[in-house]
Amino acid sequence: MNPTDESPGLAVVLGGTGGIGTALAEGLRQQGHTVLAIGRRTTPAMDYADEASVARVAQHIGAELERTGLPLRRLVVATGILHEGAVQPERSWTHLDAAALQRLFLVNTIGPALVMRHLLPLLPRKGRSVAAFISARVGSIGDNRLGGWYGYRASKAALNQLVHTAAIELARRSPQALCVALHPGTVDTALSQPFAKTGLEVRPPAVAAQELLQVMDSLPEGSNGGFFDHHGTVVPW
């Protein structure tokens, strides 16, 4: 744990049953946190298409905070899609499809926005805590040199703006809390496997999770609202 942390607390991983989410949950347990890993098939379950389910998850977490007396030290949103059935990364504007765009924005942008609404108020008012939203370097407008992947890029860029905006509001109620976007690099999961290029650094989920947790633990003051990669390096907007 970072010396600025008062003690381990409750850690929540949304998307905690996926490849990187499972690894993040295990890494947080190893750090001494009490972990809630929540997904579409857990109890409670969370479905971004049903805001009431996000509210129920928030109520469940609130009850756990009250029952255990622990502070919410880590909130990690590890949900996201790049491809799903007919939803595939676009190579050209001729491939843009309204239904596919709606699905990408629901999971990558709207869902995390609902998480902000219902779960950020659970972070402690005092003491260090981190809300980390897994984003992607391809969501960087400044780093976009190849084009393509319109929907995924745009939905992650929108997520980054939401994170930065929420961080400003969060700082007013919880001055030591951090709300950040994190790029995990290319991880060996179902999301990236069809698109991992030969020669690209592809890391196992456990390795990627440890890198991300190290970044969360070591973010200095002034990091609130930032966008960082798995090495802790600032990613351009």
pLDDT in tens, 190-203: 555 555 555 456 77
pLDDT of residue 130: 98
Residues 6+ apart with CB under 8 A from 13: 21, 24, 25, 28, 35, 36, 37, 38, 74, 76, 78
pLDDT of residue 186: 86
Which of 16, 218, 147 minimizes the C-alpha distance to 24? 16
Q: Rounded distance, CA 131 to CA 22, Å?
A: 17
pLDDT of residue 214: 97
Element housing 130 (H / E): strand 129-134
pLDDT of residue 1: 45
The mean of the pLDDT values for the chain is 93
Q: 118-173 pLDDT, tens per residue?
A: 999 999 999 999 999 999 999 999 999 999 999 999 999 999 999 999 999 999 99
**0.85 exceeded by the pTM?**
yes
